[in-house]
Structure 1
């Protein structure tokens, strides 16, 4: 694993929080609004549609970037199926939502593993 370190640790925190939240379907009830988490993944903490430039900023490894790109693909597919100005319910009931939670869970495991590894070796 080549850990490129982090130039933007506060944004890393936002990224990890967004990914963990999307990976936890049990938290996604009627009051859940995915919009801020999607914004974090698509604009604030990394561009999941093109994550490679975020290596060393909010992403630690090429594996994280690859899984983030997979999540970006799932997000693009999902967003393309939604009506204009979607409600939280539109997101959660879409057939394309499950691949987001599944891919986010895979990414979450890697993000946390890498953060743990970095914390124990730094």
Structure 2
């Protein structure tokens, strides 16, 4: 792997934590609020709509960017199923939520593996 980052390690940490939270259905209970995790993915640490410019900043590889884009697509689909002012439970009850956790799990695996193998 060619290590191209992260240039923003604190934001990388936020990104990894957000993706792991979305990928862990066991943590998604009545107290689970996806809003801060979604903010991390779309504004603070990455742009899941256009992740390629984040390579070398919070993303390490093109694979991570592609998986982030997949997660962004799943989240955009989720948004179409939610009411105008969704509660956390609305996210979890949506038929689109399993695709979010699946995409997040794939990205989480890549993020953690790439961090483990970084030089």
Fold in common (TM above 0.5): yes
Q: 1:44-100: CA deviations, max 9, x gaps?
A: 100001100100000000000000000000001101211111000100000000000
| Distance in structure 2 (CA, Å) of the matches to 1:103 and 1:35 | 17
Distance of 1:2 and 1:85 partners within structure 2: 42
Task: Note the C-alpha offset of 1:2.
Answer: 2.5
Q: Residues 85-120 of structure 1, C-alpha deviation per residue, up to 9 Å, x if partnerless?
A: 1000100000000000001001000000000001xx
Cα distance in 2 between the residues matched to 1:87 and 1:48: 22
Match of 2:2 in 1: 2
Superposition misfits of 4+ residues, deviation over 4 angstroms: none
SS in 2 for 1:116: helix
Once superposed, what is the RMSD of the aligned Cα atoms?
A: 0.7
Give the equivalent residue in structure 2 for 1:64: 64
Verify: 1:40 aligned to 2:44, yes or no.
Answer: no
Aligned to 2:79: 79
Q: Secondary structure at the match of 1:46?
A: coil
Output aligned runs, 1:1-122, within 5 Å.
1-118=1-118, 121=119
Q: For residue 6 of structure 1, report the CA deviation from its aligned partner.
A: 1.3
